[in-house]
Amino acid sequence: MSTTSINALVDAEQGSSLWRDAWLRLSRNRPALAGFAVLTLFVLVAILTPWVAPYDYAQQNLELGATPPSADHWLGTDIFGRDLLTQIMYGGRISLAVGFIATAVALLIGVSWGAIAGYMGGRIDAVMMRLVDILYALPFMIFIVLLMVVFGRNMLLLFLAIGAVEWLTMARIMRAQVQSLRQQEFVEAAVSLGLSPLAIIWRHVIPNALGPIIVYTTLTVPSVMLLEAFLSFLGLGVQPPETSWGLLISFGTETMEEYPWLLFFPGLVLAITLFALNFLGDGLRDALDVRGAKD
């Protein structure tokens, strides 16, 4: 066997035990498990909504208008007399999809970009990070409006547009992490063993830098859901009668004194999602943090 293949084998073994240990630690973390359970439940409900929703989401009753929670409508109705619970369930389909997919896009681009820039350093790093600076500075709104004109309105573009802004900060955080990791012994050891830079980044650097990334990601998902409401305002995103949590919240805000339930329930659902994500995120970080575990 060549040295490289031995190394690969060792790596693979190390890798798998790292993940296994992490899973073990995670499964002992109650808040994290609870968070995971809540998110799974939300996703399940979102998937099953067309079959389990109590009402048709578009059906209006203008004469009924906005009514507080009642036996017929558990969470009340909106100004068109539509059932709020149904609206939240359908809104969840969009918001969860946007939240998770757009964040995943941002994560993928941001983490790879930041890791490569941070690891390579020097001129490559400078060019890559200045590109990030440029994208930061461009007027976002005009950018979105243009994207829409060029590509027309569709959901794919929505994911792309959100991913396109959110990856920038991810890249910065990742780069900072990688820069400090690069000096550490285990990376230098891997370099001296002759592993390719990409392999080192993927196997050694990224897993060790995941902590802050996970924390930032859990914060990103809810803000992405709210960003979607702004993009809908620009015309990208969902069109009525479809809705999303972000839209329900922004409409609810307008009438928070007259019809507080229209704000409270969508807000509550978003807050629960945020906390669930947070507990899960913290659990994941602790589980993956080798140093913390040794302590």
* Residues near another protein (CB under 8 A): 58-60, 62-63, 65, 79-80, 121-122, 125-126, 130, 133-134, 136-139, 141-143, 145-146, 148-149, 153, 169, 172, 176, 179, 183, 211-212, 215, 219, 222-223, 226, 232-235, 239-241, 249-251, 253-259, 263, 267, 270-271, 274-275, 278, 295
Shortest distance (Å) from residue 4 CB to another protein: 30
d(CA 152, CA 157): 8
Query: Do 161 and 236 form a contact (C-beta atoms < 8 A)?
Result: yes
- Residue 57: left (phi > 0), alpha (psi -120 to 50), or beta? alpha
Q: How far apart are CA 224 and CA 210, in angstroms?
A: 20
Closest Cα partner for 245 from 218, 265, 215, 275? 265
Of the candidates 213, 211, 218, 215, which has an alpha carbon nearest to the alpha carbon of residue 292? 211
Minimum Å distance from CB 224 to another protein? 11
Which is nearer to another protein, 71 or 150 (by Cβ)? Answer: 150
Which residue, 26 or 79, is less far from another protein as judged by CB?
A: 79
Question: Any residues with CB less than 8 A from the CB of 160 and at least 6 apart, and which?
Answer: 105, 147
Contact 68, 261 (CB under 8 A): yes
Question: Which of 185, 240 has the CB closer to another protein?
Answer: 240
Q: In 3D, which of 115, 119, 99, 112 has the Cα closest to residue 163?
A: 99
Residue with tokens 């439940």, as numbered in its chain: 41
As measured in angstroms, the least distance from the Cβ of 264 to another protein is: 11
Cβ closer to another protein: 84 or 263? 263
220, amino acid identity:
T
Tokens of 151: 């590509």
- Sign of torsion, CA 105 107 112 118? positive
Closer by beta carbon to another protein, 17 or else 239: 239
Smallest gap from Cβ 201 to another protein, in A, equals 18
Considering the complex, state which of residue 10 and residue 141 has its C-beta at the smaller distance from another protein: 141
**Is residue 24 helix, strand or coil?**
helix
Q: CB of residue 277 vs another protein: minimum separation in angstroms?
A: 10
Q: Tell me how far, at minimum, the Cβ of 89 lies from another protein, in Å.
A: 18
For residue 70, the minimal CB distance to another protein (Å) is 19
**Percentage helix, strand, coil for the chain under 3-state DSSP, each rounded to 5:** 80, 0, 20
For another protein, the closer of residues 101 and 229 by Cβ is 229
**Which amino acid is it at 204?**
H
As measured in angstroms, the least distance from the Cβ of 19 to another protein is: 23
Nearer to another protein, 161 or 203 (CB): 161
d(CA 161, CA 140): 9
